């Protein structure tokens, strides 16, 4: 007999985490990912587009700039304030809707393009998300995702954080899975889509590795929450030291500053007609 999983407590915790800090500041560092997936998807004028886990619009805005009709959805509507401001500055109109990536409030076969830039991999049930992405696509439509590679810098960043954090519920899959080709192939194996993959790197820049980690701890919700919790039991210095060491190792700058490449995986899933 199957049991129903109550995901609401975890998702409310996720909403609070992403609403904390200043995620739009972090989103400024990764705008290239959204622009790249819009380009690779081939979004064109007049297309119906959904940006899932849109945050402040890193994929939605460049899609709208191409003349598409865009809906941006996210579990955390607090991020829409910055998204609306950015859209207005870009001169585009976007519809912003609060929505769970595991239960999208749209009819079957609604969209020509479904996008997500560093977003859907944080939803807990990967297989449910994959099904929803395919469901809302029309036949012949395209899903385009940008996800941090599991073995890249940010993937290792999460790995370092793991032992310091409470264990996730048994039903939740770890975010780095979406950054592995084999995992993504398994997620879409039963759906009528043709997959292609491209690996690219985005470079983080700062005055130093320490400055970058402190920027993340001040603004990036998951790390901000970890820092606040770990300060209470004295473990924050240990985690910060691990993240700084990881950043020192990743640094490729030769002028005394900080420049660290972080690989991400572009996933294109074309839904068969």
Spatial distance between the Cα atoms of 206 and 201, rounded to a whole number of angstroms:
16
Residue 99: DSSP 8-state: -
Domain boundaries, the chain: 8-150+165-205+262-271
Residue 115, SS3?
strand
The shares of helix, strand and coil residues in the chain, as percent rounded to the nearest 5, are 45, 25, 30
What local confidence, expressed as pLDDT, does residue 2 receive? 44
* Beta strands, E only, 150-257: 193-206
What local confidence, expressed as pLDDT, does residue 1 receive? 38
What local confidence, expressed as pLDDT, does residue 242 receive? 98
Spatial distance between the Cα atoms of 166 and 222, rounded to a whole number of angstroms:
12
CA distances from 197 to 132, 143, 180, 194 (A): 20, 12, 10, 10
| Fold topology of 8-150+165-205+262-271 | Rossmann fold (3.40.50)
What local confidence, expressed as pLDDT, does residue 3 receive? 59
Spatial distance between the Cα atoms of 10 and 244, rounded to a whole number of angstroms:
29
What local confidence, expressed as pLDDT, does residue 127 receive? 97
One digit per residue, the tens of pLDDT, for the chain of length 273 reads 345 889 999 999 999 999 999 999 999 999 999 999 999 999 999 999 999 999 999 999 999 999 999 999 999 999 999 999 999 999 999 999 999 999 999 999 999 999 999 999 999 999 999 999 999 999 999 999 999 999 999 999 999 999 999 999 999 999 999 999 999 999 999 999 999 999 999 999 999 999 999 999 999 999 999 999 999 999 999 999 999 999 999 999 999 999 999 999 999 999 999
């Amino acid at each position: 007999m199957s049991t129903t999983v109550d995901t609401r407590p975890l998702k409310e915790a996720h909403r609070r985490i992403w609403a904390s800090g200043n995620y739009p500041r972090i989103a400024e560092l990764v705008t290239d990912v959204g622009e790249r997936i819009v380009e690779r998807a081939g979004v064109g004028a007049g297309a119906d587009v959904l940006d899932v886990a849109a945050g402040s619009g890193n994929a939605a805005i460049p899609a709208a700039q191409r003349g598409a009709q865009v809906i941006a959805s996210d579990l955390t509507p607090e991020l829409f304030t910055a998204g609306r401001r950015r859209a207005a500055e870009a001169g585009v109109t976007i519809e912003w809707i609060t929505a769970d990536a595991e239960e999208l409030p749209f009819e079957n076969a609604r969209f020509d393009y479904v996008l997500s830039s560093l977003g859907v991999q944080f939803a807990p049930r990967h297989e449910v998300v994959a099904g929803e992405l395919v469901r809302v696509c029309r036949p012949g439509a395209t899903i385009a995702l940008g996800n941090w590679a599991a073995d890249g810098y940010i993937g290792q960043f999460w790995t370092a954080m793991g032992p310091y954090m409470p264990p996730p519920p048994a039903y939740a899959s770890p975010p780095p899975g979406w950054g592995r080709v084999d995992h993504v192939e398994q997620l879409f194996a039963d759906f009528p889509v043709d997959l292609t993959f491209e690996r690219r790197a985005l470079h983080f820049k700062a005055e130093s590795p320490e400055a970058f980690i402190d920027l993340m701890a001040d603004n990036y919700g998951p790390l901000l929450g970890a820092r606040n919790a770990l300060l209470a039991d004295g473990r924050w210095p240990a985690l910060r030291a691990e993240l700084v060491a990881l950043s020192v190792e990743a640094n490729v700058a030769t002028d005394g500053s900080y420049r660290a490449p972080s690989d991400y995986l572009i996933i294109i899933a074309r839904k068969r007609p």
